[in-house]
A and B are shown apart, each in its own frame.
Chain A
């Protein structure tokens, strides 16, 4: 079971780029890295998933170094509405989601 370590909280200002790093030292060869976002009293929402190097979609980028022991979620030009908890998970196609560990996530607060 690959657990992850993230900062408990981060602060930023509107318009800035935010990078949240997740450590997953025990990541296995077949594991993918997935990030979710959760607003208060709402269910988590999928943001992005990747295996190596860089993945980009319309809301975020995910950077994964060659050793894959960490990953960085990058949110460009954040706004107040990006204030949320961000979760990093690792898992592979063969494992069940029941083995994934959501952890406590990173509380991102964006200030005006």
Chain B
């Protein structure tokens, strides 16, 4: 158990819909990262927040957005969903601001299925 929690575990929805994925980082960690993993794309970094502020952006679509709240939990919002958005979404956290040497602790993931 990494100490990172994600809800829900599974999510099934239809194209065009909007969903929200939630992540609680390990106690004391200030950085939260979101990743998307699909069968044909591998693990893709989406976005990182550090202490409430956006710190780094990866291959995140405009239909996706995220935020980190004062209690440090984070939400990833996916809208106008398409079939290709079906994937595992992981949240990770780290203690510091997210340098290339920080250890990331990953949550169990949310499996999103878009029908």
Interface residues of A (CB under 8 A from B): 31-32, 34, 36, 38, 41-46, 49, 87, 89-100, 102-105
Contacts and interface: CB of A to CB of B under 8 A. Distances in A.
Interface size class of B (residues with CB under 8 A): 20 to 34
Contacts of B107: 43
Contact of A41 (B48, B88, B100, B105): B88
Contacts of B92: 43
Given A96-B48, A97-B102, A41 B55 contact: no
Contacts of A42: 106, 108-109
23 contacts: A32-B100, A34-B103, A43-B92, A44-B104, A45-B106, A49-B103, A91-B101, A93-B100, A93-B101, A95-B99, A95-B100, A96-B55, A96-B98, A96-B99, A97-B31, A97-B56, A97-B94, A97-B98, A97-B100, A98-B45, A98-B57, A99-B100, A100-B100
Contact of A32 (B45, B56, B58, B101): B101
B42 interface: yes
Contacts of B97: 96
Interface of B: 2, 4, 31, 33, 35, 42-45, 47-48, 55-58, 88, 90, 92, 94, 97-109, 111
B57 to A, nearest CB: 7
Contacts of B105: 46
A102 to B, nearest CB: 4
Given A43-B2, A102-B43, 18 more contacts: A34-B103, A41-B111, A43-B92, A43-B109, A44-B104, A49-B101, A87-B43, A90-B100, A93-B100, A93-B101, A96-B98, A97-B31, A97-B45, A97-B48, A97-B102, A98-B48, A98-B57, A102-B44
B100 A43 contact: no
A62 B44 CA distance: 25
Nearest to B44: A102
A32 B101 CA distance: 6
B2 A45 contact: yes
A36 B94 CA distance: 14
Interface centre among B42, B57, B100, B106 (most CB of A within 10 A): B100
